[in-house]
Amino acid sequence: MKRRSLLKGLGAAALTPSLSFIPKPKKDTPVLRVAHITDVHLKNDLGAPKKFERCLHHIQQHSPKVDLILNGGDIVFDMNKEKRSDIDAQWKLMEMMMKNENDIPVKYCLGNHDIWWNEDSKNEIFYGKQYSLDRLELKEPYYSFKQNGWKFIILDSTHQDIDDTWYIGKLGDRQMQWLTTELKNTPKKTPIVIMSHIPILTSVLMIQDNVVNRWEFLGGDMHTDCAELTNLFYEYSNIKLCLSGHIHIRDKVVYNDVTYICDGAVSGAWWDGIRRQTKPGYGLIDLYADGSFNESYITY
Ligand SMILES: [Zn+2]
């Protein structure tokens, strides 16, 4: 064969790779598209209602459309630092907006700001978690449900600190037992998404100004039972994704094949711009029948 036709032959071979080299389309269509909104911190101030309305409309304009909204907590601005009459107003505003500006089903998780902690008010109707649970029509602050072949486990992150004065991130014995049983009873082939308000595992706590020779994390910033939870998750390869908020900074950590995503905040820096480099936004997640997913952080 002449050199020219040899090159021509090689060129043709290079241009028409055999079928085995053509990457197969990685995914089919998702079985479920989820919007993860967290840290909305809604109140009638700081332009929050208008901006949240924009966010809800943004979520509803996607194609394919979003099937489910997961609200990751800190639903209202703050039950502790507001006047009592304002707490009621914040919840009414949230209910009104979700009714008038949104058509997608929503599942909720409690955040630390959705819980009234003030110790000298134990007899108030606002005290503890019951008030928010009633408003959200939830029986328990942790629960699970199935949708389109995926299982969703919603956790209750916020518990009183050891000295009872504030909160830390943990499940507590009763919920840990429930979660263990729940995982055990889920078929191994059913992929699982877990949502908590406080991150189970996040890297962003390490981004601190003026570190000299050590980092300091608060027990309220990440799950203090992180080791126990990651040990438990190691037993279940069907746990795919753990979603959280709370920090208002977006990050993604993969540990033992579980992806931990802290999905920024709808409110950004509490309705005052950007929190470090994270803009106000929400997570958009496509879940597939084979247990894989695609996800991105969407600013609105
Ligand atoms: Zn929070």
User: What's residue 160's pLDDT?
Assistant: 84
Give me the phi and psi of 253, to 5 degrees please.
-120, 130
Residue 30 alpha carbon to ligand 1 centre in Å: 30
Q: How is residue 5 written in tokens?
A: 């036709």
State the pLDDT at residue 121.
60
- Per-position DSSP letters for 237-254, written without gaps between them: TTEEEEEE-SSSSEEEEE
Instruction: Per residue of the chain (300 residues), give pLDDT as tens.
Output: 444 444 444 444 444 444 445 544 456 799 999 999 999 999 999 999 999 999 999 999 999 999 999 999 999 998 876 677 888 999 999 999 999 999 999 999 999 999 887 655 666 666 789 889 999 999 999 999 999 999 999 999 999 887 777 889 999 999 999 999 999 999 999 999 999 999 999 999 999 999 999 999 999 999 999 999 999 999 999 999 999 999 999 999 999 999 999 999 999 999 999 999 999 999 999 999 999 999 999 999
Name the residue range of residue 88's domain. 27-299
So what's the pLDDT on residue 12? Answer: 40
Measured in Å, how far apart are the chain's first and last C-alpha atoms?
A: 61
- Per-residue model confidence (pLDDT) at position 176: 98
For helices 226-233 and 173-184, give the axis angle rounded to 10 degrees. Answer: 10
Tell me the CA–centroid distance for residue 17 and ligand 1, in Å.
52
Residue 166 lies in a domain: yes
What's the pLDDT score for residue 118? 62
Strands laid side by side in the 250-255 sheet: 143-147, 150-154, 192-195, 239-244, 258-263, 250-255
The CATH number for 274's domain is 3.60.21.10
What spacing in Å lies between the alpha carbon of 197 and ligand 1's midpoint? 6
- Note whether residue 201 is domain-resident: yes
Cα 94 to averaged position of ligand 1 atoms, centre (Å): 17
Residue 5 domain-assigned (yes or no) = no
C-beta of residue 41 within 8 angstroms of C-beta of residue 97: no
Task: Note whether residue 176 is domain-resident.
Answer: yes
Per the CB < 8 A criterion, the answer to whether 95 and 64 are in contact is no
Please answer whether residues 286 and 244 qualify as being in contact, where contact means their C-beta atoms are separated by less than 8 angstroms: no
Q: CA–CA separation, 283 vs 106, rounded Å?
A: 14
Position 208 in a domain: yes
Per the structure, the count of domains in the chain is 1
Assigned domain for 210 exists: yes
Tell whether 13 is covered by a domain.
no
Cα(222) to ligand 1 centroid in Å equals 10
Residues lining ligand 1 (ion), CB within 5 A? 74, 111-112, 246
> Is 239 part of a structural domain of the chain?
yes
Judge whether 294 and 26 are in contact, CB under 8 Å.
no
pLDDT, residue 203, reads 97
> φ and ψ at 99, to 5 degrees?
-80, -40
Dist. CA 158 → ligand 1 center (Å): 9
Centre of ligand 1 from the C-alpha of residue 65, in Å: 28
Q: How much distance in Å is there from the Cα of 195 to the middle of ligand 1? A: 13
State residue 13's pLDDT score: 41
